[in-house]
Amino acid sequence: MSVVGDVRTALQDFLAPELRELKARMDAIEKQMDKLEEKVESGFGRLDAKIERLDSKIDNRMDRVENLLNLNQRMAEVEAHLRKHQSQ
């Protein structure tokens, strides 16, 4: 066997198992990353749903406040009208 062949064989004998081990480790890391990504996506989904519920509650409360303000304004107008007619 030539020197080049011997070096090639030695490198393959050393590197091939190392490369297989590195590939297996990278595959395991990829699986973990996929699981973490799923958890993060699920968490964002729950967070989005919670924000939507809170946004809806805020909108409802704002509508109630607006209705109360309108009612207060109408009551003030009625009171002013009554005072005007009482003083006559």
Instruction: Round to whole Å and give the CA distance between 46 and 44.
Output: 5
Cα–Cα–Cα angle for 66, 69, 71, nearest 5°?
Answer: 110
At 1, the pLDDT band (50, 70, 90 cuts) reads low
Asked if pLDDT for residue 3 goes beyond 90, the answer is no
pLDDT in tens, 16-50: 898 999 999 999 999 999 999 999 999 999 999 99
Residue in the block written with tokens 């064989």: 9
Instruction: Round to whole Å and give the CA distance between 49 and 8.
Output: 59
> Which pTM was predicted?
0.55
Instruction: Round to whole Å and give the CA distance between 84 and 87.
Output: 5
pLDDT in tens, 65-83: 999 999 989 999 999 998 8
